[in-house]
Amino acid sequence: MFIGSRIKYFRLMRGMTQKQLGMAVGFPERNADIRIAQYESSDRIPKNELLCKIADKLNVSPYAIRIPDVSTPEGLMQTLFYLEDLYGLKIGKSDGELVLLLNDELKERLAAWYQMSKQLAEGCITEEEYDNWRYKAKFD
């Protein structure tokens, strides 16, 4: 399961041990690291309430942890199909090349992403500020 690898990624990004994260979300010290290790190895999958607590302690959006597994072509294609269903993402052609066509909502969100990545490239913000925006961004 992809959730476990995302928890580990953000935990390491924040410089936390498994025990520190486990205790931060309320596990007793004696087994806090074991519980987090179980989630990171996908032996267990955190319920939504716990996932939200973990995300909060890692200072990221729960959606950053729940992102779909796109590490395989099948996973990527299913994600694109889901985006088609949810946001009206379409596929088309432009100058003989395949392109993804976005609705206005997605265009606005990608425009925000572009602006932040441009600020990073121009040195106006740091990589840490960019990552904090990426993993905490609210697009409600």
Q: What is the mean pLDDT of each run of 10 residues along the chain (140 residues)?
A: 88 96 98 97 94 95 85 88 90 96 90 96 96 80
Q: What is the CATH T-level fold of the domain 2-66, as seen in this structure?
A: 434 Repressor (Amino-terminal Domain) (1.10.260)
Return the pLDDT at 17: 98
Phi, psi of 31 (to 5 degrees): -135, 15
How far is Cα 70 from Cα 77, in angstroms, rounded to an integer? 8
Return the pLDDT at 53: 97
Return the pLDDT at 69: 78
Stretch (H or E) spanning 100: strand 97-101
The domain locations on the chain are 2-66, 71-101, 103-140
Q: Are 117 and 130 in contact (CB under 8 A)?
A: yes
How far is Cα 3 from Cα 47, in angstroms, rounded to an integer? 11
Closest CA to 135 of 4, 3, 5, 6: 6
For the chain, the distance separating the N- and C-terminal CA atoms, rounded to the nearest angstrom, is 26
